[in-house]
Amino acid sequence: MKKYLKTLIILTLIVAATFSFSQTLVQIKQRGKLLVGTEPTFPPFEFVDESNQIVGFDLDIANELAKRLGVKVEVVSLPFDSLIPALQQGKVDMVIAGMTITEDRAKVVDFSKPYFEANQAIVVRKDGNFRPQSLEELIGKKIAVQLGTTGDLIATDVKGIEVVRFQRFTDAFLELQNGRVDAVVLDEAPAKAYVKKFPKFILSKVVDTGETYGVAVRKGNKELLNFVNQTLDIMRASGTYNKIIDKWFE
Ligand code: ARG
């Protein structure tokens, strides 16, 4: 009798584990929408277009994921440093935000396989003659970053740089335009997008940081993580990945 009871308990545990395991995908399907957290001042990955829609490379990945689940994407727009807490609290299913896979973040969330390679860049005003060629040349200067980004981390790591932190990159660039800071440090592709849109800025130097972006899901959410990884594989194999690269990076 004892033996049967033990078997029963083990079986119950396995069934329970399987159910909690597959809960997210079922939940998303039942809900009919995939909740994606992002911070939309990061072109071409996520930004607000002329018709007030949040669009970009990351949203195309989100749409592909949603399409395979037969649901719609619902974008939850948050400050960058609130994205991981929102994910942990279950307010979003995943974060797709040009988020660099870092050791510290990987302690609290799980990352998909890398989907993009990135470096940091230093952007300055074109009309001045300040053209820094390294982070060290920012010592004694005032720079703007987005709060909680890798740009924030690497600039803060250099003693003597005065770092001013903003929730939105648009505000960081406003500060640069108004001459209240000497430079903005941010990821290379968004740096290029801002410089292209606002010719009064210039990209002074790319700082090689060798970062990669990943989609973040709640820690231990293997089912969703596998689904994301599988979708990324399919997107690469089918040419969809290259298509969206061409779309957003001409
Ligand atoms: N790659 C950088 C990081 O992970 C910046 C990402 C900013 N993304 C955004 N959507 N604002 O810290």
| CATH code for position 147 | 3.40.190.10
Same domain, 94 and 198: no
Pairing of strands 46-48, 54-55: antiparallel
pLDDT value, residue 67: 97
Same domain, 180 and 221: no
Same domain, 127 and 20: no
**Rounded alpha-carbon distances, angstroms, from residue 160 to 125, 130, 141, 179, 184:** 21, 17, 8, 19, 16
Same domain, 35 and 95: yes
Same domain, 111 and 227: yes
Query: Two tokens at 158?
Result: 């250099």
Same domain, 104 and 23: yes
**Rounded alpha-carbon distances, angstroms, from residue 21 to 108, 144, 156, 218:** 18, 42, 39, 12
Q: Which residues pair with 224 in a beta bridge?
A: none
Query: Cα of 152 to ligand 1 centre, how many Å?
Result: 10
Residue 211 φ then ψ, to 5°? -90, 160
Could you list the mean pLDDT of each consecutive 10-residue stretch along the chain, which spans 250 residues?
75 60 83 98 98 98 97 98 98 98 98 98 97 98 98 98 98 98 98 98 98 98 97 98 96
Helix and strand counts by DSSP (H, E) for the chain: 10, 13
Number of C-alpha atoms within 13 angstroms, CB side, residue 196?
10
Same domain, 46 and 95: yes
pLDDT value, residue 6: 78
pLDDT value, residue 23: 73
Atom of ligand 1 nearest to the CA of 99: 4
At residue 226's C-alpha, the angle toward residues 236 and 34, to 5°, is 85
Judged by phi (left if over 0) then psi (alpha if -120 to 50, else beta), residue 120 lies in beta
Same domain, 81 and 151: no
Question: How many domains does the structure of the chain reveal?
Answer: 2
Same domain, 43 and 105: yes
Same domain, 102 and 132: no
Query: Two tokens at 15?
Result: 């069934």
Same domain, 123 and 205: yes
Distance CA 78, CA 75 (A): 9
Same domain, 122 and 196: yes
pLDDT value, residue 10: 66
pLDDT value, residue 86: 98
pLDDT value, residue 162: 98
Query: Cα of 110 to ligand 1 centre, how many Å?
Result: 16
24 in contact with ligand 1, CB cutoff 6 A: no
SS3 (DSSP) at 47: strand
pLDDT value, residue 14: 61
pLDDT value, residue 7: 77
The residue segments making up the domain with residue 240 are 2-115+214-248
Q: Which residues pair with 147 in a beta bridge?
A: none
Query: Cα of 62 to ligand 1 centre, how many Å?
Result: 16
Whether the CB-CB separation of 183 and 130 falls below 8 Å is answered with: yes
Pairing of strands 116-125, 109-111: unpaired
